[in-house]
Structure 1
Amino acid sequence: MTDTMQHELSPLDRKITDVFPQHTVRKDLVGEIKGNAVVPTYVLEFLLSQFATTTDALSIESGVRRVQEILAQHYVHRDEAMLIQSKIREKGHYRVIDKVQVTLNEKLDRYEASFSHLNIRQVVVDPNIVQKNEKLLVTGIWCICRIGYAYTGEKDEVPWRLESLKPVQMATDDVHNFIEGRKAFSTEEWIDLMLQSIGFNPELFSDRAKLLLLIRMVPFVERNFNVVELGPKGTGKSHIYSEFSPHGMLISGGEISVAKLFVNNATGRVGLVGFWDTIAFDEFAGRNKKAGKELVDIMKNYMANKTFSRGVEQIPGEASLVFVGNTDHDVPTMLRTSDLFEALPSQYHDPAFLDRIHVYIPGWEFEQIRSEMFTDGYGFVVDYLAEVLHNLRDLDYSDRFNPYFELSSSLSTRDKDGIRKTFSGLMKLIYPSGAASAEQIEPLLRLAIEGRKRVKDQLCRIDTTMTPVDFAYTKVGSETPITVRTFEEIDYPKLYRRQHTDDASDEDDGTIPEGALPDKDAALTEDAPEQPLTAKPTPSPIERMQALAKPGVKELEENERGFSYDKLFGPYVAGAQQLELIDPYIRLSYQMRNLAEFMEMVRRNSNPRQRVHVHLITKKDEEEHKAKRQQEMLEELKHNYAPMGVDLTFEFNDTIHDRRLCTDTGWKITMGRGLDIFQQGNDGDWLNPQNRIQKMRRIKSCTFTYLRDDDILTDQEKQSRN
């Protein structure tokens, strides 16, 4: 048995294969079988689903061999076309895997197929096959075909015969079982399952990155959804539209004719938008690219009204449009000199076109794709998932936040439409039953608002007649609005708020967020030098830090940067020798990193001549093997930090819930999220400064309350304070 077939199932893998046993596949097997076959992932997984939908290593190995044999025998390589043609002639018929397109021969009144790789044309097709698979008439689709050969010698005869054809796509509606199976998963598990299904390892993506990846899938589950994603090269912008679904179409080069996309007036034949769920325009960016005015005008009308016409009649369409392309500059440069749409062709750098975009995905937030980002875990067979999402397009969840939240009244109709459609798509992907709590709904609503705000804010730069609106929402029963900001607005506030490019100056543009680098005085390394008896005593560094500690409440907003443990805790732990930290969730590796960074902060803010004792109270992991690893990591931290003068002790208490820090200097700090205030990133990527500098990490929304507890002070300390 090969090493590749050996695979240790994770808890999520076990759950996936138990709940959806007939519709899952190990994602790394695609690379194992693909070889040099230039076929989409959904074709390969379709074959794997026939032979290797199992967790048994021997069965998987056998199934993979069978699929490899099928590809070797029946997949048509272009340079072997003549060999396959010969096999068909000699055997009388032969099965092939190829991309097939059909046209109507009006002179002979018959349908004829052409095979992309086999390089044969005018193959007669039964009209019943065409009626069942109308997409054959629009563009090529991958099929498993049985081709016959019958030569009679008649003039102009084509000896090839299409005896049977099976498109590589699911034909059953399994939405009910899909929704029922979803109930077995937590929200986090389900999102990870969706990521594994499109081939990514969820452990290497932050919570926000996961949701942004899911927005790329919304066009498959939401009708007439218009998306722009611009960003650096190599971030996988177009991958999902070419590999994921048999209902999606990727147009390379970003240029296409009106007849091909909408309708051919000469023949009356409807174009791509009439047959595909999603049409993605790859390499859409490029200031020098040209597009005809007629195409742009028809596209604008279609994006706004879901219909198109070339002067004959109004034709409805349901295809979502996706525009992806590469940016030429980084975000601060775009904000300083132009806008975030600057890379688009001039014909599309038009307020009327851009206002029809529902969401702008910030492509610059994605890392460049690396091999370790791909998963070897289990996920849905992509053509199964694609078919489920296709059928979920019939549902509308755009109003599911209404019982809990209300959008700002200043938003335009198009703003609200963009927000609601993005939100509806995310709901279908994450909560396909449509049922979710206010706490589960809110982050999806915020992301949907942010995606539309990114569009509208740039429109206000491009068109000075547009009026900025308030992208905010309120909780039902509350009058306090909650404002949503884009990351670009948070990171580069001075550049973002410029409405005209000629306002740019040499002022600080926030390219490195204020406070992103460690403060010079954040750490205390030594006491102040002795002062002459005649001089006024100068406070020591510890005393200066302690003077900054004030009772109060600090609210941290979602996605902010510029915070660190030194900033949040430093003045309150300065000079402390005994600290008690209560945090139920110190289990996973990144949470252990948080604890290590906390102890380093305590050491920096203490007297270097004194030892510091940190006592941790946390919960033990429920799974035995994880609890063992948790204990090992805590023991390792205890061993490693003792030489630094930090003595760590810990105990497990399964009844605790609150997060709190108490010091022997009289401070009690309640922490809404404990030490887990940073959004999860890729712990293993030490080339990323965010993993080394806390102030460059993004924050989760949480609250810190600082209380001075006089009751725990000693009489001597109280007297000294008085």
Structure 2
Amino acid sequence: MVHSLDEKIKTIFPEESVLKNSDKYSVFSGFSIPSFVKDWLIKMFTDENDELDENGLKKFITNNLANNQKHVKGTLITDNKEVTLLARIVVEPDIKTGKLRFSVPDAGLKMNECEIPDYVVRDNPELKGGEVWGIITLDYLIPSGKEKGVILLEKFKSFKPYSVDVDYFASKRNQFSLMEWVDFLIRSMEYNPDGFDSFTQKLLFISRLLVFVEPNLNMMELAPKGTGKSYVFSNLSKYGWVVSGGTVTRAKLLYDISRESSGLIQQYQFLALDEIETIKFQDENELRGALKNYLESGSFTVAKYKGDSNCGLMVLGNIPLDENKKPLNKQYFANLHKFFMDPALLDRFHGFIEGWYLPRMREELKIDGYGLNVEYFSEILNEMRRVPEFEIVVQQLLDIPLKADTRDTKAIIRISTAYLKLLFPHVRTIQDISKEDFEEYCLKPAMHMRGIIKHQISLIDYEFRNELPDIKIK
């Protein structure tokens, strides 16, 4: 049976939507590919009648997926022919030589082995630095008079099949009710909204997207295992990165002095520290101090290097629950690494997501219908970070007491702004939204999320007051 929302999405977003179901996605079984790449491939191998060329897609993945190719170097050197890969590449400018170098981690190609010619960069400005996904064509060359060869990136096709226009996307919002729009967002996150228990639960679920749309937003979510935390942050956007386990160092996170290279915070728009209980922190006091400065101001200093970024930090962890599915310990952060047992550090996080109210992944939550192509969706979310009108509207709507704590105010404004972007992307002035809608769906959840942080800090250190400023709608 065709769902009414299917027809609506297909009609309103004819070029940007894609039919998502388990049958189509089964073609990727056995391959490790993020969703924004899967949707790009499905679109490429689907005809105008929504028929998927499974054989063509399987052949393309088998022959071109980088982490499926074990002999790339050998093929380039011995066969004297180009190699085409579907790959994630990491680009880093080499200051000493003036060249742009790249690596293909999944294919074992290292930074000091690979270069990008100037003519390729001219047509692809995204290759000037950082991580990008695309279809790459590689060749092997031994320059004249040189003993060492080099792998060249001869061609590059980016995963940007759309011209992304936020205003075009926002203009469609009025054709959906709020409930339809939330269901539409959940479908675009690759979940089935009909599998959720309530509208409140749906709103909580899409709060995971807040860090996708708002710069320098720092959040925490604790939830039981199996609620899809890792999936959302690993699969929906190439602009984010997930650190899961291992050791976090200042060099990895902020800046590597020995290599003179930026850390993850300057490479991505949001960074998720997953399974936070298992992560180890090197030189804890030094890293904690640098991180406090960054979370407060968006800038940091390492030795003589001063860095800035609008990357948000998302801390993800598990939490034990009782038989009523409520936290066993009233101190939610009790199981976190001692690195986080610093009230001044916790105070710099803007809000907290109560993940225990979200459902465990089950069959009825698997999408079966139309949603936005994840690649397009991730581009739209990323572009929203740069639209200034949303925060201006929030500032104009709020009545903030003069004695309000600045960190509380900043947190509530940022979370409210992020909700406004997600739920009401068409809003550009205060006339575009009712005060009732803004209060109910933007301000109240922002106050609640910040309130949890304040309450939890007060349980650790009684000098921190468990109260929020009386912020209201003007």
Normalized against structure 1, the TM-score is what?
0.59
Once the 2 structures are TM-superposed, how far is the Cα of residue 371 of structure 1 from its aligned partner? 2.5
The aligned amino acid for 1:99 is R
Task: Select which of 2, 9, 12 maps to 2:5.
Answer: 12
Moved more, 393-402 or 211-220: 393-402
Residue number in structure 1 paired with 2:435:
438
Per-residue deviation at 1:278? 0.8
Q: In the alignment, does 2:16 pair up with 1:23? A: yes
Q: Residues 193-251 of structure 1: CA distance to partner in whole angstroms, max 9, x if unpaired? A: 00000111111212112111221111111000000011211111121111000111111
Name whichever of 230-239 and 298-307 sits farther off: 230-239
Q: Where in structure 2 are the equivalents of 1:292-691 lying within 5 Å?
A: 292-330=284-322, 331-335=326-330, 339-396=331-388, 397-398=390-391, 400=393, 406=399, 411-434=404-427, 435-444=432-441, 445-470=443-468, 474=472, 476=474
Pair member with larger Rg: 1
Structure 1 residues 221 and 289: CA distance shift in structure 2, 3 A:
same
* Secondary structure of residue in 2 paired with 1:120: coil
Written as runs of structure 1 = structure 2, the 5 A alignment for 1:83-94 is 85-86=74-75, 90=79, 92-94=81-83
Cα distance between partner residues in 2 of 1:83 and 1:261: 30
Amino acid at match of 1:60: E
Does the 8 Å contact 1:419/1:448 carry over to 2?
yes
Does the aligned pair in 1 maintain the 2:223–2:354 contact within 8 Å? yes
Alpha-carbon distance between aligned partners in 2 of 1:468 and 1:114, rounded to the nearest angstrom: 49
Cα contact 1:179–1:433 (8 A) shared by 2: yes
Q: Is the 8 A contact 2:277 2:336 kept in 1?
A: yes
> Which residue number in structure 2 is paired with residue 146 of structure 1?
137
8 A Cα contact 1:24 1:378, kept in partner: yes
Cα distance change of structure 1 residues 261 and 403 upon mapping to structure 2, 3 Å threshold: closer
Q: Is the 8 A contact 2:143 2:149 kept in 1?
A: no
* 2:41 matched residue in structure 1: 47
Corresponding position: 1:82 with 2:79: no
Q: Does 1:246 align with 2:235?
A: no
SS in 2 for 1:423: helix
Higher relative contact order (CA 8 A, sep 6+): 2
Q: What does 1:145-224 correspond to in 2, within 5 Å?
A: 145-150=136-141, 156-158=147-149, 160-169=151-160, 172-205=163-196, 206-224=198-216
Kindly indicate whether the alpha-carbon contact (under 8 Å) linking 1:27 and 1:375 is maintained by their aligned counterparts in 2: yes
Task: Note closer, same or farther for the CA distance 1:183–1:465 as it changes in structure 2 (3 Å cut).
Answer: same
Alignment of 1:261-276 (within 5 A): 261-276=253-268
Gaps of 5+ in 1: 1-7, 477-722
User: Relative to structure 1, is the Cα distance of residues 220 and 53 closer, same or farther in structure 2, using a 3 angstrom cutoff?
Assistant: farther
- Give the superposition deviation at 1:453: 0.3
What SS does structure 1 have at the residue aligned with 2:27?
A: helix
SS of the counterpart of 2:386? coil
Contact 1:143-1:167 within 8 A present in 2 as well:
yes
Paired AA for residue 444 in structure 2 = R
Aligned residues between the structures:
460
What SS does structure 1 have at the residue aligned with 2:133? strand
Alignment-mate amino acid for residue 172 of structure 1: S
Residue matched to 2:51:
60
Distance 1:18 1:304, change over 3 A: same
Alpha-carbon RMSD across the aligned residues, in angstroms, is: 2.9
- Alpha-carbon displacement from aligned partner over 1:488-529 (angstroms, at most 9, x marks no partner): xxxxxxxxxxxxxxxxxxxxxxxxxxxxxxxxxxxxxxxxxx
The answer (yes or no) to whether the contact 1:135–1:275 under 8 Å persists in 2 is: no
Cα 1:295–1:195, aligned 2, differ >3 Å: closer, same or farther? same
Quote the residue 1:69 is aligned against: 59
Q: AA paired with 2:106?
A: H
The equivalent of 1:661 in structure 2 is none
Tell me how far 1:36 sits from its aligned partner.
1.4
Q: Is the 8 A contact 1:75 1:98 kept in 2?
A: yes
Q: Give the corresponding residue for 1:625.
A: none
Of 107, 111, 136, the match for 1:118 = 107
Given that 1:410 and 1:470 are in contact with CA atoms closer than 8 Å, whether structure 2 keeps it comes out as no
Q: Is the 8 A contact 2:236 2:374 kept in 1?
A: yes
Amino acid at match of 1:428: K
Q: d(CA) in 2 for partners of 1:254 and 1:428? A: 34
Q: How has the CA–CA distance of structure 1 residues 84 and 470 changed in structure 2, closer, same or farther, with 3 Å as cutoff? A: closer
- Give the superposition deviation at 1:15: 0.8
TM-score (norm 2): 0.88
1:442 Cα deviation after fit: 2.3
* Aligned amino acid, residue 406 of structure 2: T
SS of 1:81's partner is coil
Is contact 1:24–1:53 with CA below 8 Å preserved after alignment?
no
Deviations 1:346-405 (A, max 9, x none): 121111110011110011111211132111111111111111111111224245456766
Q: Distance in 2 between matches of 1:83 and 1:268?
A: 29
Is the 1:222–1:424 Cα contact (8 Å) retained in structure 2?
yes
Give 3-state SS (helix, strand or coil) of 1:166's partner.
strand
Aligned to 1:565: none
Between 361-370 and 95-104, report the one with greater CA deviation.
95-104
- Distance in 1, Cα, partners of 2:416 & 2:219: 13
Query: Would the alpha carbon gap of residues 237 and 149 (structure 1) be closer, same or farther in structure 2, given more than 3 Å must change?
Result: same
Distance in 2 (CA, whole Å) between partners of 1:135 and 1:213 is: 34
Q: Residues 83, 304 of structure 1: CA spacing in aligned structure 2 closer, same or farther, 3 A cutoff?
A: closer
Higher relative helix content: 2
Supply the AA of the counterpart residue of 2:465.
T
> Residue 401 and residue 341 in structure 1: after superposition, are their counterparts in 2 closer, same or farther (change >3 A)?
same
Which amino acid letter does the alignment assign opposite residue 421 of structure 1?
A: R
- 3-state SS of 1:33 partner: helix
